[in-house]
Homo-oligomer: A and B are copies of this chain.
Amino acid sequence: VSAPLRAWIVASGDELVQGRNVDTNSAWLARALLELGVETERFLVLGDDEPALCALAQEASRSVELLLVTGGLGPTLDDVTRHALAAAAGVELDEDAAALEDLRAWFAARGRPFSESNARQALFPRGAERLSNALGTAPGFLLRSGRALVAALPGPPREMERMFQDELRPRLERALPPRAPRCVARFFLFGLPESSFADRCGEWMARGADPLLGVTAHAGVLTAQLASSSQALLDARVTQFRERFGEWIFSETSGDLGRALGEACLERGITLATAESCTGGLVAERLTRLPGISAVFGWGCVSYANAAKQDLLGVEAALLESHGAVSLPVAEAMARGASLRSGARLSIAVTGVAGPGGGSETKPVGLVCFATSLDGVLQSTERRFAVRGRDLIREFAALTALDLARRRVLGR
Contacts and interface: CB of A to CB of B under 8 A. Distances in A.
Interface of A: 14-24, 26-32, 34, 40-47, 52, 77-78, 158, 207, 214, 216, 218, 223, 225, 274, 276, 279-285, 287-289, 291-292, 294, 297-308, 311-312, 341-343, 355-357, 388, 390-391, 394
A302 B304 contact: no
A300 B304 contact: yes
Given A78-B207, A291-B355, A299-B302, A42 B43 contact: no
A298 B307 contact: yes
A46 B42 contact: yes
Nearest to A283: B281
A155 to B, nearest CB: 11
Given A22-B22, A302-B302, A280 B285 contact: yes
A82 to B, nearest CB: 17
Nearest to A227: B18
Q: Do most interface residues of chain A lie in helix, strand or loop, or is the interface mixed? A: mixed
B44 A31 contact: no
Contact of A288 (B78, B302, B307): B302
Contacts of A308: 298-300, 342
Contact of A223 (B17, B20, B280, B303): B20
A30 B15 contact: no
Contact of A22 (B17, B27, B288): B27
B41 A43 contact: no
A285 B291 contact: no
Nearest to A311: B341
A20 B216 contact: yes
B44 A43 contact: yes
Contacts of A32: 19
B307 A299 contact: yes
Contacts of A287: 280
B311 A299 contact: yes
From A23, A47, A288, A302, residue with most partner B Cβ within 10 Å? A302
A198 to B, nearest CB: 9
